[in-house]
Structure 1
Amino acid sequence: MPKGFLDQSLHYLAARVAHRIGRRYYHRHLKTRGIKAAEWWVLSLLEERDDLTVSTIASHIFYDQPTTGRLLDRMEKQGLISRRPSPVDRRKTLVDITRAGKRRVTKLQLLATEDEREATRSFKKTELENLKAALRLVLKDLGMEQTIDSPDS
């Protein structure tokens, strides 16, 4: 039975779960493959939708634009992504995933799904869906409802 403030704190509980799942996945699957967590997030975003701007990617991986740009430089050198100027707005750069990036992310997503299943094994399917829906509502209430399908701001 929860007793103290931290046991009742959404902030603390969400941070603790995110940290534990992230560290576990990183050490099990990413570190052994020489992949940084942010690279995994970028590949997952681009696997869902190509032609994302640097600013959209930055907002989803919790990095500023200059740091995201350096990350994308490394990923481009590794052949995981490609970049090109936007045909609509030359000030923007569009980022796409390459075949090599797709091969890498496909395996990682399967592993992530297995890890999520293990971490939530006590949940019924509907309970897990409700938890994810509730977290999306919290994000919406925090003004973070933007998805990768939302237009750039």
Structure 2
Amino acid sequence: MTIKIVEELEAPATSGTQPFLPDYLLFLTASVSAAMSEEFHEHVRTRGLRVPEWRVLACLHDDDGQMITRLARFAMIEQSRLTRIIDQMDERGLLERRSDKADRRRVRIFLTRTGARLAADLVSEARAHEKRLIKRLPDGLGQDLKATVKRLHGVLWAGEQD
């Protein structure tokens, strides 16, 4: 899907100027991310979840008991929207709020047993999906791309870790 969009955008501009989007890094990375995620996100929906809920499960799978501010940053969800999502997931028995033992004013989000099982299943399925995607890219491009993106992520997020 994304390749087709880029090919259409690379057609010569009628004004004779260089097209913007086919050479714009932010468009290209967002477009590739959307194309690579599309199939797995459809799978997530068949499991009864919305994509933001999957992100919450994945974040808590890696680091259970996060505070909402940190969870919002890593799940890439605006905090007030995340609060509503957490309410809905709590009602469905996927996660729960607990007071922080060190500071009772703080609230942490934890997976329930049901949520932890679902998160583990989906993380396993996401890893398998990623392997299939990487294999589809020619000449080791998938591994190179992953290494480059991990390096870029580290550079852009340096100093942002808790």
Q: State the TM-score, normalizing by the size of structure 2.
A: 0.76
Pick aligned residue for 1:121 from 126, 131, 135: 135
Q: Call closer, same or farther: CA 1:100–1:126 in 2, change over 3 Å.
A: same
Work out whether 1:34 is the aligned partner of 2:48.
yes
Structure 1 Cα separation of the partners of residues 94 and 39 of structure 2: 24
SS at match of 1:82: strand
Q: 1:45 corresponds to which residue?
A: 59
Q: Is the contact between residue 30 and residue 36 of structure 1 (CA under 8 Å) also seen in structure 2?
A: yes
Work out whether 1:79 is the aligned partner of 2:93.
yes
List, as ranges, runs of 4+ consecutive aligned residues in structure 1 with deviation greater than 3 Å: 2-9, 122-130
Counterpart residue type for residue 68 of structure 2: V
Which runs of 5 or more structure 1 residues have no equivalent in the other structure? none
Counterpart residue type for residue 26 of structure 1: H
Structure 2 Cα separation of the partners of residues 146 and 109 of structure 1: 27
Q: Deviations over 1:71-110 (max 9, x none)?
A: 1111111111111111223332111111101211222122
Q: Is the contact between residue 136 and residue 145 of structure 1 (CA under 8 Å) also seen in structure 2?
A: no
Work out whether 1:58 is the aligned partner of 2:72.
yes
Structure 2 Cα separation of the partners of residues 85 and 125 of structure 1: 50
Q: State the TM-score, normalizing by the size of structure 1.
A: 0.80
Work out whether 1:13 is the aligned partner of 2:13.
no
Structure 2 Cα separation of the partners of residues 40 and 78 of structure 1: 14
SS at match of 1:120: helix
Identity, % of aligned positions = 27
Which runs of 5 or more structure 2 residues have no equivalent in the other structure? 1-6, 11-18
Q: Answer 1 or 2: higher relative contact order, Cα 8 Å, separation at least 6.
A: 1
